[in-house]
Amino acid sequence: MLDKRATNRPERDTQNSDAQGRVRMRITPPPLAHEPEASPARSLLRPALVLALLTLAAVTYFTHSSLTVAAGLVFISLVTIYLMVAELRDKGRLASLIDETANRNRFEIEHLADRMWEMQESEERFHELIDALGDIIVHRDRDGRIVYANRVLSDLLGCRPEQLVGKKLRDVGVEIGVVPDSAFSNGEYLSSTDVVIRAKDGERWFSWIELSARDKVNNAVSHRAIARDITALKRAEEAANIARERAESANQAKSRFLATVSHEIRTPMNGIMGMAKLLADTRLSPEQKTYVNAVSTSASALLALIEDLLDYSKIEFGRFELEAQEVSPRELAENVVELLAPRAYAKSIGLGCHIDPQVPDTIRADPGRLRQVMLNVIGNAVKFTEAGGVLVELKLEGDMLRIDVTDTGPGLDEADIGRLFEEFEQGDGTSTRKHGGAGLGLAISRRIVEAMGGEITATGERGKGSRFTISLPAQKGRRKPQIVRTLNGRSCLIVSKNGMEAEAIARTITAHGGKPEIVPCIEHLVAAPGRAAYDVVFMDAEMENVDARLLKRLRGAGIRPSQAIILISPTDRGKLPRYRAAGYDAFLARPVRGETLMRVLTAAPVAANAAPAGDGERRIETTASGATSFSVLIAEDNDINALLARSALTKSGHQVKVVGNGRAAVDAVQERDFDVVLMDLHMPVMDGLDAIAHIRKFEEAKGKPPVPILVLSADGQEATRKGVISHGATGFLTKPLDPQALVAAVERHGKRLETEQHAARS
């Protein structure tokens, strides 16, 4: 009987076969059969039976015992048959075991073949995958020899992958070394670098990342690397570097262009404006004065346009810089209002300024740029207002200083507001507009305010005026102790047709505890006698000039103020004796400063930083007898500019020597002592900076005190100013020169030198 396990054969899965006819098998291996063991008794039983049979036959023959023989023979025969059957069964089992073992071996061989085929197929798919990624994959041994390299590297080098095996990277033109064993402190080391591979189609850049590791079991070292093509990125970086260098070169060229243009434009403007001012101080007929004023006005307008264009260019070129310092917003606003007041009065409109007492004395800002913003915004309000007036207000809102400029001009609609702060845009963009300009002032103002951390906005309604609001950070401002000036409820009557100016005065009075009332005329006051008397009456000089009996009529109606103050414009100063005769106790020059107003109302001393009332225009006055006369050296190659400076200083009583280049200036200083030196920056033979360096070196060698050197330049850039100061200059004056400012600067520095020399002698 055969064992059933001999018939258990492996079954093949014919549904999964590859293109080459290879069949994958799903096999459940049977358990191994046990080999039958031969019994020692059984192996001796057959010879024993044969011996027994022979013995039994012999006994029967000799004893003639037939029954015994027959029984013995039957027994022996049965035993012999049993043994033969058992032997045959054992042989069948052995044959079955041999067959089963053969099948088992065949199964295991086929199973191993299938596993090897699957592993080979998986490896091929993996290689195809890493080749398709486009990255270089390299495996190297401890000595840096290539164990494996994918097709990406071989294709780059123009060879087959197997040709790279056993070679080092430097042998194929890739400069990558082997990490030394000392770097494997933690068993592995990760490195990254950019390398150049000289491919068959030219050089290409790769980002090479390599992991070098040591096997903790057998201490074997291997280096596995992946490299990605970054040629496009490198080319983009190179292009960006070239573009940046070109941009920097262009910016430098633009900066030089700005400096050159500024110098070339300001130089002739200096001559035009300066000479016009000098000419205005001479004896002129009324017609000549008209012509001179026209020249000055036109030159000022041209200079303002040039300044706007240069500022806009600086902003666009990235050369716009701010110099933050302590600045008084009160002083700055009142100075700007006073500067623009003549324009307003020439149009018969009012211009008032109110500054809330809570406004800090100083804030951190660029005074020149903040003044420029105020001039632009307030100047625009004056320019576009034909009737009524302009009111400037400063107040504190939280940590922000708010500057409101309100006018009664044509107003603005939504479309105007939307484009008002854009470059080359104006509120009236039609070809028939009444006012000129390039439309840059507000755009530049917006850039300046935003650079200071603030904002500028506009509101308005067509036909009802407009309001511009400037908000600036004031958290760093500081306040000085204020002199208390309470009005204790004093009633003040303001008689004026200039509503904006009257409103500014009224708000200042209210802020200090007074009770103001504004009336455009006195008719209803005179018509209703018996009204309560006012403590103070403010009268507009324009109304007093029309009717010289206004104050008398008020008093006749029972309004008898304890103080009558007349509000005059700069042109009314010659009429002060007449106003005094009419009964006025004091006068205030328009536009009225808050400090001056409170001084008059309370008869209290003015704070140390308060400026006097506006004096209108004043001419350069010759130095009084006995005043100090300074010796001034002017180094200027432009004859007109030299003439302007010499004339202004000579008329002020100073001694002047003029030279035409820097070398001559150095020689002059070495020959004699000067109190002040005016040095042009750009001159032939030797420029201003070199001349300053030679002068300072000479003074140091001789042990002389440094003479004040004021640089004259049409290049108004902040970098230029800082540069000349760092080279040894004492001060910096920007062309076009204001003769009055020039004389003031010379006298200020001359007196300082005189004081220092006196202190040194004592």
- E strands present in 417-484: 455-460, 466-473
Distance between CA 639 and CA 227 in Å, rounded?
71
- Whether 542 is covered by a domain: the verdict is yes
Res 65: pLDDT = 59
- pLDDT band for position 663 (cuts 50, 70, 90): very high
471 pLDDT above the threshold of 90: yes
- The predicted pLDDT at position 758 comes to 56
Q: What gap in Å lies between CA 339 and CA 494, rounded to an integer?
A: 24
- H, E, C per residue of 71-137: HHHHHHHHHHHHHHHHHHHHHHHHHHHHHHHHHHHHHHHHHHHHHHHHHHHHHHHHHHHHHHCCCEE
What pLDDT was estimated at residue 557?
77
593 backbone dihedrals φ, ψ, rounded to 5°: -80, 145
Task: Please state, in angstroms and rounded to a whole number, the distance separating the CA atoms of residues 239 and 383.
Answer: 50
Considering the domain architecture, whether residues 748 and 665 belong to the same structural domain is answered as yes
Q: Chain-wide mean pLDDT for the chain?
A: 77
Model pLDDT, residue 182:
61
Euclidean distance between CA atoms 577 and 377, whole angstroms: 37
Q: Where are the beta strands (DSSP E) in 520-630?
A: 536-540, 563-568, 586-589
- C-alpha distances in Å from residue 148, one per residue of 141, 170, 206, 223, 588: 9, 15, 18, 11, 98
Residue 678 maps to a domain: yes
Same domain, yes or no, for 640 and 607? no
* CATH number, position 688: 3.40.50.2300
% of the chain beyond a pLDDT of 90: 14
In a domain? residue 686: yes
Cα–chain-centroid distance for residue 746?
A: 40
DSSP 410: S
Q: What is the reported pLDDT for 621?
A: 37
For residues 558 and 671, membership in a common domain is answered with no
pLDDT of residue 708: 93
Residues 171 and 112 in one domain: no
Residue 54 maps to a domain: yes
Q: Is residue 259 part of a domain?
A: no
Beta bridge partners of residue 733, listed in sequence order = 712
Residues 39 and 78 in one domain: yes
pLDDT the model gives residue 186 = 63
Domain holding 225: CATH number? 3.30.450.20
Q: Both 162 and 85 in a single domain?
A: no
C-alpha separations of 531 from 495, 510, 528 in Å: 16, 21, 7
Last residue of a domain, one of 591, 618, 645: 618
**Same-domain pairing of 538 and 597:** yes
> Do 463 and 330 meet the contact criterion of CB atoms below 8 Å apart?
no
Q: What is the mean pLDDT of residues 577-585?
A: 86
For residue 723, give the DSSP letter: H
Structural domains of the chain, count: 4
What is the structure's pLDDT at 200? 78
pLDDT, residue 23, reads: 37
With cut-offs at 50, 70 and 90, classify the pLDDT of residue 343.
confident
- Does 642 have pLDDT greater than 80? yes
What is the arithmetic mean of pLDDT over 601-627?
A: 41
**Does position 76 have pLDDT exceeding 80, yes or no?**
no
Higher per-residue confidence, 635 vs 105:
635
Cβ contact 710:630 at 8 Å: no
DSSP one-letter code for 292? H
In a domain, 564, yes or no: yes
In the chain, what is the straight-line distance between the N-terminal and C-terminal CA atoms, in Å? 144
Contact call for residues 622 and 653 (beta carbons, < 8 A): yes
Spatial separation of the C-alpha atoms in residues 353 and 343, rounded to whole Å:
15
In a domain, 430, yes or no: no
Q: In whole angstroms, what is the distance from residue 554 CA to residue 45 CA? A: 168
- For residue 192, the surrounding DSSP H or E stretch is strand 188-199
Angstrom distance (rounded) from CA 31 to CA 440: 99
Sign of the CA dihedral running 572, 577, 581, 585: positive
The mean pLDDT of 151-155, rounded to a whole number, is: 83
Domain boundary (206, 229, 252) is at: 229
Residue ending a domain, among 131, 160, 192, is 131
**CA–CA dist 748, 134 (Å, integer):** 76
Distance CA 614, CA 338 (A): 7
Q: Residue 675 is part of which domain span?
A: 631-761
> What is the tens place of the pLDDT at every residue in 350-402?
999 999 988 988 898 888 788 888 988 998 899 889 999 999 999 998 889 99
- Same domain (yes/no): 597, 708: no
pLDDT tens per residue across span 505-529: 999 999 888 999 998 888 877 766 6
Asked if residue 729 and residue 652 are part of one domain, the reply reads: yes
Statement to judge: residues 666 and 563 lie in one domain: no
* Cα 730 from Cα 726, distance rounded (Å): 9
Averaged pLDDT for residues 234-244:
90
Q: Where are the alpha helices (DSSP H) in 347-468?
A: 367-384, 414-419, 441-451
Q: Per-residue confidence at 693, pLDDT binned at 50, 70, 90?
A: very high
Class of residue 588 by CB neighbours under 10 A (exposed 0-12, middle 13-18, buried 19+): buried
Which tokens go with 334? 């009142």
pLDDT tens profile 266-315: 777 777 887 787 788 788 887 787 778 777 777 776 777 677 666 666 66
Q: Which two tokens stand for residue 106?
A: 């065949």
Q: What is the rounded distance in angstroms from the CA atom of residue 311 to the CA atom of residue 322?
A: 12
- Whether 120 and 149 share a structural domain: no
The verdict on 655 and 696 lying in the same domain is: yes
Q: Side-chain half-sphere of 703: how many Cα atoms within 13 Å?
A: 1
- Report residue 470 as tokens: 């400037």
Contacts of residue 664, defined as CB under 8 A and 6 or more positions apart, other chains included, come to 635, 685
- Residue 159 inside a domain? The answer is yes
pLDDT tens-digit profile of 397-436? 888 999 999 999 888 877 777 777 775 445 444 433 444 4
